[in-house]
């Protein structure tokens, strides 16, 4: 007899086909890492599953991947890309957000160009940013990167919905193509708030401090949409000049938009320096929200990484020497916070090359 916490795949099939009852959340994990036979069975019965059931199932799988990094629904998402319901196709794209298969890049290019639904085209434009990022890191073939970049640049010159074009611009933010900076400038020059926000997003992704002045000028914007993107970009660009403004923002956290608050916390962890660890420690101590506390703790962990990199940069350590140096220097053992005590280290120069920021998935409500 099968225990309740070990459902069979046929139980999943029966639940999917039973429109009289909600799909049991406990069965969602059973859809992870399907065997070839199970996947074939799911494809067989998929057309018999009601539209709203398919939509809600895909959205539930999205939500689960946000909180459980061990689940794997790529196989389901791949065949759901061909679903007749656009909401299912858009969910499938988001579920495949971290996939690096070059064949998927070509599928997303096709969907961005030709899908009849604007939300699907926008989701595809957003997902292509991952492949620009992978291409810049030389983790996918150069030919694939070129196809993706050409498609995104072409969309910017088309008669297309604003959301598709804005998200294409954000994806191009990772690109080092010379066509991109003028596109960012044109977008930021628009009067439209959403275009300005997308331009700031692209600036942050560029790893190019040529945008520092524009980003810093909007860290204290009165418009939350612009402030959020500027705060996030300041961290991605590792702008030391943003440290004090961000610390000042967090002096009155209750007055901040929640997204801006969380972005400021994370950006400070990317910048590091004097006063950052103390402020994050204070915020963690004062927080009574479990999710916010976890994010602050993650930021503190990231700060350790940031300060470690900065220390090696300051000492001009060769990569092969880092392991040996790590055994000699223990920042915590003596209770010494080198980032706070060494003014030269604290005030890192803004002309240092920032790390390429990792892609961010847009959720269905964005």
Q: What is the DSSP string of 43-61?
A: HHHGGGS-HHHHHHHHHHH
Whole-angstrom distance, CA of residue 60 vs CA of residue 30? 13
Does any domain span residue 364? Answer: no
Which pLDDT does position 315 carry in this prediction? 53
Same domain, 214 and 348: yes
Q: How confident is the model at residue 270 (pLDDT cuts 50, 70, 90)?
A: very high
End-of-domain residue from the set 96, 125, 160: 96
| Residues in CB range of 217: below 8 A, 6 or more apart | 230
User: In this structure, are residues 238 and 354 in contact, taking their beta carbons and an 8 Å threshold?
Assistant: yes
Total number of domains in the chain: 2
Does any domain span residue 29? Answer: yes
Same domain, 223 and 348: yes
CATH number, position 351: 1.25.10
Phi, psi of 333 (to 5 degrees): -60, -40
Same domain, 90 and 212: no
Does any domain span residue 149? Answer: no
Which pLDDT does position 11 carry in this prediction? 96
Same domain, 214 and 347: yes
Whole-angstrom distance, CA of residue 359 vs CA of residue 343? 32
Same domain, 213 and 87: no
Shortest CA distance to 272 belongs to which of 341, 205, 209, 348? Answer: 348
End-of-domain residue from the set 96, 126, 150: 96
Does any domain span residue 190? Answer: no
Tell me the residue range of the domain where 274 lies: 208-358
Whole-angstrom distance, CA of residue 161 vs CA of residue 155? 10
At 308, list the tokens. 């470690």
At 238, list the tokens. 């590792």
pLDDT digits (tens, 9 = 90+) for 318-342: 545 545 544 544 444 444 444 444 4
Does any domain span residue 188? Answer: no
**Mean pLDDT value across residues 95-116:** 97
End-of-domain residue from the set 66, 96, 126: 96
């Amino acid at each position: 007899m099968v225990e309740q916490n070990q459902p069979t795949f046929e139980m999943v099939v029966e639940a999917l086909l039973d429109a009289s009852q909600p799909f049991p959340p406990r069965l969602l994990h059973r859809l992870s890492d399907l065997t070839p036979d199970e996947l074939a069975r799911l494809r067989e019965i998929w057309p018999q599953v009601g539209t709203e059931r398919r939509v809600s199932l895909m959205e539930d799988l999205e939500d689960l991947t946000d909180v459980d990094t061990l689940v794997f629904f790529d196989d389901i998402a791949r065949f759901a890309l061909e679903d007749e319901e656009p909401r299912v196709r858009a969910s499938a794209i988001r579920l495949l957000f971290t996939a690096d298969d070059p064949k998927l890049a070509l599928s997303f290019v096709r969907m961005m160009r030709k899908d009849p639904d604007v939300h699907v085209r926008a989701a595809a434009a957003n997902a292509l940013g991952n492949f620009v990022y992978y291409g810049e890191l030389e983790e996918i073939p150069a030919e694939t990167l070129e196809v993706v970049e050409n498609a995104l640049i072409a969309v910017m010159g088309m008669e297309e919905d604003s959301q598709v074009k804005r998200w294409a611009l954000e994806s191009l933010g990772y690109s080092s193509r010379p066509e991109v900076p003028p596109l960012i400038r044109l977008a930021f020059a628009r009067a439209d708030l959403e275009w300005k926000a997308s331009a700031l997003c692209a600036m942050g992704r560029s790893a190019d401090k040529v945008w520092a002045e524009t980003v810093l000028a909007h860290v204290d914007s009165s418009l939350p949409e612009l402030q959020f993107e500027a705060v996030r970009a300041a961290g991605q660009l590792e702008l030391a000049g943003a440290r004090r403004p961000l610390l000042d923002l967090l002096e009155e956290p209750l007055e901040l938009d929640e997204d801006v608050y969380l972005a400021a916390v994370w950006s400070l962890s990317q910048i590091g320096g004097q006063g950052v660890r103390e402020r994050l420690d204070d915020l963690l101590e004062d927080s009574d929200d479990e999710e916010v506390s976890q994010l602050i703790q993650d930021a503190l962990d990231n700060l350790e990484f940031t300060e470690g990199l900065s220390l090696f940069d300051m000492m001009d350590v060769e990569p092969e020497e880092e392991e040996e140096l790590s055994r000699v220097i223990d920042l915590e053992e003596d209770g010494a916070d080198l980032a706070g005590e060494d003014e030269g280290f604290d005030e890192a120069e803004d002309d240092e090359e920032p790390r390429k920021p990792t892609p961010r998935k847009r959720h269905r409500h964005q």
